[in-house]
Structures are given as structure tokens and as C-alpha cells.
Amino acid sequence: MGMEQKGKIIISEEEIQGKVRELAGQISKDYEGLNPIIITVLRGAVYFMVDLTRYLTIPHRIDFLAISSYGPAAQTGGVRITKDLDLDIHDEHVLILEDIVDTGLTLHYLLRILKERGPASIKICTFLDRAAQRIADLHIDYRGFEVGEAFVVGYGLDRDEKFRNLQYIMAVEE
Amino acid sequence: MAVITVSRLFGSGGEFVAEILSQATGFLLLNKKTLHKYIGEHDLPQMRLDWINEISPRSVDGLEKERVEYVNTLRDTITDLSRNRHVILLGRGGQFLFMGSKEAVHIKIVASLEARSANIQKRFNVDKATALRLINEKDAEREAYTYYFHRGDWNNPEIYDLTINTTRISLGEAAELILNFLKQRKIISRKKFEKILDKLEEAAKEKEKIAVSFERAADSSLRGKPKKFANKSEEEFARILDYYQIKYLYEPTTFPLKWDSEGNIESAFTPDFYFPDFDLYIELTTMKQELVTKKNRKVRELKRIYPDVNIKLFYRKDYKKLLEKFGIDPEENID
């Protein structure tokens, strides 16, 4: 399959890089001397993490986490961690990176699990925010762009596992 | 025969007092419902019938002829009905329609703001702020109604023969006071009085229960709480919430939205899901977009009456996206 999906670029590569630099600057300032652990939720946020951390000017560590998603074949037992952290976050300053937060259901679960491990602090940074669809009441500390209703792909976001590698954000035709 | 007019402050229980009296005496009760029926026979346009709900028009320009016609029709109809029986007229500016009439007795039921607020809270299952807002709104509506149609000030104490304060008097006691007054006026004979008193106690017991019970005040059809989910979409949504271990309650609250002049709930809204952790209600509207206008209106009304309530509408397209995100075929799971 090629990259034939039609759509409209809503956030350009330049805008993305500008915003990521801006976020990294803010995070570097806020986490000065704290040596945070940057946790990336697999898989979409990987692209964001790679760019963001390259602009950070403070020492930090990275780790990854994956959780199961609801779906047609979802297990009845409910959500679970499919790839856990390697680092111990107890007494550490934690920053969670997400590609997009919409309903907030996944993140709500994640926050609950991670808070039980006793981190010194825990904050959220999302590249895209679709607040109109929010159900879980979450505080987003760092936000790249607000997006509306359109289905978006690129910069880590996929449609049927495609288009993650686009360097811009595209609203696809439905 | 006599026309007993009963005016009442919203939440004072005046409509129940009138009902108790009517049940005990057998006098014809004229309220919104019965007046609709009798005046409806006069073949007036729909707008005039709406006025019976004690609502004055927003813009009065060019309506003077209709106003006069409405007032005359109202007076004529009630006069006709009272030709061979006593009638009890609830509201509608009766104290002005029959001001100075030898046949008429004017009664007003009042109560302290605190007591009215407590009554409304119990009856409609709302908080204090909402109760106070409703009281303000309804009182203003009635004041505007009597002023527009009858050019009268309903707060003037001199226009009533008897004013009863139900702050510390029960609805039954209030009805009994009126009954005694009617006996003195010889509208009720001494012979019949004792019999009526027995009936009054019975009627009072029943009405006093209804006056403070939300379950009874609300139309049962508006409060039907299905134990099961209403449709496949809600069921699927609940499964997603369970999966992510989100606490929710299904249809836990019914919000009354519209009351008629007697304080009956005319319209209410029960959002599908409530999230206690987020203090948020969600309504799933998976119907076709063109059918959601009515629901939108209800949600707007809910937000107006209950500005502190958080409610979010999930439209068909939002829900479709949510399902798509989880790899579920929306076509099979939306109904």
C-alpha cells in the first residue's frame, strides 16, 4: 500500500518543529535539576519523544510503556500493561508523553497505575489535544496543538498502521 | 354560585390546597388542565390556549384585541361554569377577573421563601440554588401574567379575603381554614360541613405525601429507569468504560426542565451516564444528526436551569470515531 490517502495538511513540519522546540524549552526550564524520567506511551508518541528529547537541555532518562487497547477481541478482564517500565519511578519526577489525548480514558488508567508507584511528581505532555471529546477529567501540563473533530494522521498517528512517518499532521477525508 | 379564587406563591403548596378542597367539597376545580378543556371548546387559536398556562406573551405589540378577547372568554367561561355549581379557580388572575363580585371569595396561599425552597427541593429533587432560581422565575412569570392581562398587582394584600401562610400550617390545615370560612359565608351548609371535613382529612393525607415526593410528582413515563441499557451503543460504551475501569452510573439522575402552572413536571431529561470521579454527565446521541435537535434543546435548557451541572453530548460522529479508534465496526454497534 502506498501513501495515497487524500487529506489536508493542518499542521506543517515547520510548525511542528517550532512547537516541539518551544515545549522542550519550557520542560528544560521546569525540570532544571530534577533529572526527570520521560515516559513514552507506545507506539504513536515515539516520534514526538525522539524530537522532543533532542531539544532538551537537561539530563533526563527515557522509558517506554504499552497498555492493551479495547477492541473487538479485548479480554474481558479489562485494560492491562503489556509492556511495563524498566525504571523504578519511586521518588522520581515523571513526565508522560502522549501523541494525542481525546477521551482520556487510557491516560486516566495510566495515571492511576503510575501514581501507586509513588513518584515525586507526575505531569502530562501531549502533542495533540482533542479536548472536545474528553471524558476523564485530566490536567494537561504541556500541550502542542489543539485539534478539532477531523481524523488526523502523521507524526506518529496512524490509520490502520499507516502514515505514522509523515512529517506533518494531515486531516484525512472520511 | 360561588367562585373561590386561589392565588399562590410558587412552592407554597397552593395548588394542593385547592385540590384538597375540590376533592372534599366536590366543587369543580378549574386549573390549567380543566380550563384548557372548557376554553378549548371556544375555538380560540392555539396561542390563546397557551396563555392559560399563566405565561404572558414576550412581545405584546398588536395583541391588545386578543388580550381583551382572552380575558373576556376566560371570565365568561368561568361564569358559565359557576352558574349551577361552585367552582374553585386556581390562579389565572381570578382575583382580578372577579374583583368586587358578590359571588366570589379570594384566597391567597403564601409561605416564607425558606419554606418554599424546601418544598421545591423535596418535590423536584433539586438543590437549593435551583429551587430559588425556579421560585424567582415562576413568581416573575405570574406577576407578569396578572399585570399584563389584568393590569393588577397580585402582591397587593387588600384584594384577598383570606391569606394563609403555609410556612407553619399544613396543607390540610390550610384547606380546613378555608372550609370554615366558606361555612361562615354560607357557601357550605352546616349540615354538610362535618361530612366534608372527613373527606378533607383523607384528601389532605394523600396530597401532603405527593407534595414532598419527587417520585410521585414526576410523570412515571419520564422517570422510567431501565435496568438494561436502552440500545447497543450504550451497552458498547459501558463495556469500554468497564474495560478502562472508569466508575460510572447509568441514568442516575432525572433533571426536571419544565413545569406547568400547577408545578407538574412537563418535561425532564435523564442523561445516560454519570461519572462520579469527574462530576460529569454524558449523553450519547447516536440517532441520526437530523433527529438530535430536540435533544440539543433539552441539553441547552438543562444547562440554563442547572448551570453547575457538567454535561457533554456525544454525537453519532463522535461515538463513531471512538469506536473506530478501538477498531470496532461502528455500523454494527450503533443503533
- Mutate which of A67, A105, A135 to disrupt the B interface (most B C-beta within 10 Å)? A135
Residue A162 included in any domain: no
Of B244, B280, B314, the CB nearest to A105: B244
* Least confident interval from A52-66, A111-125, B141-155, B284-298: B284-298
Highest mean pLDDT among A110-119, B40-49, B52-61: A110-119
CATH number of the domain where residue B193 is located: 3.40.50.300
**Closest to B239 in 3D by CA, of B316, B326, B300:** B326
A132 in helix, strand or coil?
Answer: helix
Highest mean pLDDT among A11-15, B56-60, B312-316, B317-321: A11-15
Residue A107 included in any domain: yes
The verdict on whether A160 is a catalytic residue reads no
* Least confident interval from A1-10, B203-212, B294-303: A1-10
How many CA atoms within 13 Å lie on the side-chain side of A98? 25
Residue A8 pLDDT greater than 70, yes or no: yes
Provide mean pLDDT across the span B10-32: 89
Query: Any idea what DSSP says for residue B311?
Result: E
Same domain flag for B167 and B265: no
Same domain flag for B273 and B304: yes
Within a 10 A sphere around the Cβ of B264, how many other Cβ atoms? 16
**pLDDT digits over A18-64, tens only?**
999 999 999 999 999 999 999 999 999 999 999 999 999 999 999 99
Separation of CA B78 from chain center: 22
Number of cross-chain residue pairs from A and B with Cβ atoms under 8 Å apart: 60
Residue A166 included in any domain: no
* Confidence band of B219 (pLDDT split at 50, 70, 90): very low
What does the angle CA B144 – CA B150 – CA B151 come to, to the nearest 5 degrees? 70
Same domain flag for B20 and B149: yes
A101 vs B37, higher pLDDT: A101
B108 in helix, strand or coil?
Answer: strand
Q: Which of B216, B236, B251 is the last residue of a domain?
A: B216
- Smallest Cα distance from B97 to chain A, Å: 53
- Is A78 in contact with B282 (Cβ distance < 8 A)? no
Mean pLDDT, chain B, whole residue set: 82
Same domain flag for B201 and B292: no
- Is A149 in contact with B321 (Cβ distance < 8 A)? yes
Q: Which of B216, B251, B276 is the last residue of a domain?
A: B216
What's the confidence (pLDDT) of residue B218?
39
Residue A158 included in any domain: no
Residue A3 included in any domain: no
Same domain flag for B212 and B224: no
Of B282, B321, B326, the CB nearest to A135: B282
**pLDDT digits over B60-106, tens only?**
777 788 888 888 888 888 888 888 889 999 998 888 888 888 889 99
Same domain flag for B133 and B76: yes
Residue A68 pLDDT greater than 50, yes or no: yes
Assess: ipTM above 0.85.
Answer: no
Show Cβ contacts of residue B261 under 8 Å, excluding neighbours closer than 6 positions: B31, B32, B52, B53, B54, B90, B91, B92, B142
Same domain flag for B212 and B273: no
CATH number of the domain where residue A82 is located: 3.40.50.2020
- Is B244 in contact with A79 (Cβ distance < 8 A)? yes
Same domain flag for B210 and B309: no
Of B244, B324, B329, the CB nearest to A106: B244
**Torsion sign (Cα): B167, B171, B175, B176:** negative
Q: How many domains does chain B have?
A: 2
CATH number of the domain where residue B240 is located: 3.40.960
Residue B222 pLDDT greater than 60, yes or no: no
Residue A75 pLDDT greater than 80, yes or no: no
Q: Which of B191, B216, B241 is the last residue of a domain?
A: B216
Q: How many domains does chain A have?
A: 1
Residues of the domain holding A130: 13-69+78-150
Same domain flag for B100 and B194: yes
Residue B226 pLDDT greater than 70, yes or no: no
Query: Any idea what DSSP says for residue B228?
Result: S
Task: Provide the pairing of β-strand A93-101 with A121-129.
Answer: parallel
* Least confident interval from A152-156, A157-161, B7-11, B48-52: B48-52
- Is B326 in contact with A149 (Cβ distance < 8 A)? no
Same domain flag for B181 and B259: no
Same domain flag for B179 and B297: no
Residue B266 pLDDT greater than 70, yes or no: yes
Residue A161 included in any domain: no
Show Cβ contacts of residue A132 under 8 Å, excluding neighbours closer than 6 positions: A148, A149, B318
Using the Cβ of A69 and the Cβ atoms of chain B, whether some distance falls under 8 Å is answered with yes
- Cis link prior to A43 (omega < 30° from 0)? yes
Instruction: Please identify which of the residues A102, A129, A141, A158 carries the catalytic annotation.
Output: A102
Same domain flag for B247 and B182: no
- Mutate which of B242, B244, B247, B280 to disrupt the A interface (most A C-beta within 10 Å)? B244
Percent of chain A residues past pLDDT 70, beyond the cut: 93
Residues of the domain holding B96: 3-216
| Neighboring chain A residues of B276 at a CB cutoff of 8 Å | none
What's the confidence (pLDDT) of residue A80?
82
B59 vs B142, higher pLDDT: B142
| Neighboring chain A residues of B244 at a CB cutoff of 8 Å | 70, 78-79, 105-106, 108-109
What does the angle CA B188 – CA B80 – CA B18 come to, to the nearest 5 degrees? 45
